[in-house]
Structure 1
């Protein structure tokens, strides 16, 4: 059996954290989900970890450090420039998509409040980012 592949979720809303984590754990049991509650926690945590995440889901709207600032900070560090970071947000604003991609996001996905759509999105993440290996 493969070791648990880490997925990190950077999200300040506790309900969203719980639902997204539950979706990953129920759809793809080998996934190890780590929760961070604000963007300002990502770089220090990346620097301390011995195993980089296979995928980071990053919310845009957080209180202390938003997703844009966090993405810019991560991409400024050579070690983390190729780390897969997908913006996972409620925003449907096309300018947020453009800015995210300009800052180096690996993808941009709008969160659904529908549980079935969220499960489908998680399955798609798992397939796209090689989480099923």
Structure 2
């Protein structure tokens, strides 16, 4: 999968990671997925990465470093300012949406509850971010 686009899923919930990965497999192949369960891992993993991901799906509510902190750090580094980051969260708070977008998220989405709804959402993201 050398030339496959890479998507990073940054989420502390293993069930959500697995559902998103399973949905991606229904939408696009080949695709390389990297799962990170802690916001603290994002910068160090980006620094080690051979190439930047085509898209980062970022949860807001993580215990050690939340999504807001990750966005703030990413957007403060010139090399990562244009890295596509979609906040994917259970929060339906308008304040969270506004803050995410103000901090540089490209989009704010509420996590769907079913695999079918996740597949539908990912089809749109694959098209929107030219992952195929």
TM-score range, shorter chain: over 0.9
Provide the rounded CA distance (Å) in 2 between the counterparts of 1:43 and 1:88.
18
Provide the rounded CA distance (Å) in 2 between the counterparts of 1:73 and 1:25.
30
For 1:96-107, list aligned pairs within 5 A. 96-107=96-107
- Alpha-carbon RMSD across the aligned residues, in angstroms, is 1.3
Q: Give the aligned length.
A: 132
Tell me which residue corresponds to 1:72: 72
Q: Runs (4+) of structure 1 moved beyond 4 Å?
A: none
Q: Secondary structure at the match of 2:109?
A: strand
Q: Secondary structure at the match of 1:109?
A: strand
Deviation of residue 31 (structure 1)?
1.2
Provide the rounded CA distance (Å) in 2 between the counterparts of 1:30 and 1:120.
18
Deviation of residue 38 (structure 1)?
0.8
Distance 1:47 1:2, change over 3 A: closer
Report the TM-score when normalising by structure 2: 0.96
Deviation of residue 28 (structure 1)?
0.5
Q: Which deviates more, 94-103 or 109-118? A: 109-118
Tell me which residue corresponds to 1:49: 49
Q: Secondary structure at the match of 2:65?
A: coil
Tell me which residue corresponds to 2:36: 36
Deviations 1:70-114 (A, max 9, x none): 110111111000000000001100000000011000111110112
Q: Which runs of 5+ in 1 are unaligned?
A: none
Report the TM-score when normalising by structure 1: 0.96
Q: Secondary structure at the match of 1:8?
A: strand
